Structure 1
Amino acid sequence: MENTAPPRPPARRRQDVLDRLAREVDIWVATADADGLPCLVPLWFVWHEESIWLWTRPTNPTGRNLRDGGRARLALGHTRDVVLIDGEAETFGAREAPPAAAGAFLAKTGWDPREERAPYACFRVRPLAVQAWHEQHELKGRHLMRDGSWTV
């Protein structure tokens, strides 16, 4: 099946990414341990103050990898509508998480990990690179952010 729609202009792609970050609740989180063993899980998230905020248990593979490796690749969408985000991760204990970020997460998801009996950690992922495309015809021009700065 061939897509005959014209490619979206870069500014439209950026706005579409920002709209999805505001609207969607789940994001794929890919990390790796020190030996390169990959881990891929979906997590709830919130886009707040130009960062993606995630909560997970600090003892599970994703929590350890985010804390120890400090990097993640995040993905939204399916194979015909892709957003890939590479970023640096910063770890906060549940009580050290910035209140505004924790409040934004609660408002979006209806869940406050700080109230759980089991320990949770908060992770801020600051985007360094963002790519977005609809199918093959949009591969050209898919890089919307490089080195932490929007290119459009």
Structure 2
Amino acid sequence: MTNTQPPRDTARRIQDVLGRLDEEQDIWVSTADTAGEPYLVPLSFLWDGTHLWLCTRLSNPTGRNLAANGRVRLALGHTRDVVLLDGEVTTLGPEQVPVEAADAFHKKTGWDPRGSGPAYHWFRVRPTEVQAWHEEPELVGRHLMRDGVWTETAR
């Protein structure tokens, strides 16, 4: 299937990205270990308007990589409607997560990691780069955020 719609302007793309962050429940999480070995898994997430919140066991590869590297690449969508987010990660223990974030995560995903034991840690991701495009015609202008700043303030 090919997209026959004209390319979206920057403001529309930002609006679409923010809408997807609010609505979608799962996001692809791409990390690498200290030797550069890549790892890719889907995780449930919460977007609070500023940060994405992820939760997983600190003992699994994704948790270890997030905690060790402090960087992540996240992806939404399929290959014809892409959103890529690069971000800086802060690792929080189960007792450190703000109640508001944990409650909102539970409400959105239906899962409350606080009841899953101390192995689960929280990862707050501050987006630093965001790209979005529908197929090749939208590759131009796909960079919507650089250095943590949206390229256009109209949202």
For normalisation by structure 2, the TM-score amounts to 0.95
> How far has the Cα of 1:24 moved from its partner?
0.2
| Aligned-pair CA distance for 1:110 | 1.3
User: Which residue number corresponds to residue 109 of structure 1?
Assistant: 109
Residue in structure 2 matched with residue 97 of structure 1 by the alignment: 97
Supply the distance in 1 between the matched residues of 2:2 and 2:117 (Cα, whole angstroms): 51
Residue matched to 2:151: 151
Q: Where in structure 2 are the equivalents of 1:29-40 lying within 5 Å?
A: 29-40=29-40
Deviation sequence 1:92-146 (CA, Å, 0-9, x none): 0111111111111011011110111362000001000000000000000000000
Residue 119 of structure 1 aligns with an amino acid whose one-letter code is A
Aligned 1:78-93 pairs, distance under 5 A: 78-93=78-93
What is the distance in 1 between the residues matched to 2:109 and 2:6? 35
Percent identity over the alignment is: 64
Asked if structure 1 preserves the Cα contact closer than 8 Å seen for 2:3 and 2:134, the reply is no
Q: CA deviation at 1:49?
A: 3.7
SS at match of 1:104: helix
Amino acid corresponding to residue 41 of structure 1 in structure 2: V
Secondary structure of the 2:41 match is strand
Q: Is the 8 A contact 2:30 2:40 kept in 1?
A: yes
- The answer for unaligned runs of 5 or more in structure 2 is none
- C-alpha distance after superposition, 1:64-102 (max 9, x if no partner): 000000000000000000000000000001111111111
Q: Deviations over 1:8-54 (max 9, x none)?
A: 01000000000000000000000001100000000000001411100
Q: Distance in 2 between matches of 1:151 and 1:83?
A: 15
Q: CA RMSD in A?
A: 1.1
Q: Matched residues in 1 for 2:25 and 2:3: separation?
A: 28
Partner of 2:63: 63
Supply the distance in 1 between the matched residues of 2:88 and 2:47 (Cα, whole angstroms): 15
Moved over 2 A (4+): 1-4
Gaps of 5+ in 1: none
1:2 to 1:22, Cα distance in 2 relative to 1, 3 A: closer
Match of 1:77 in 2: 77
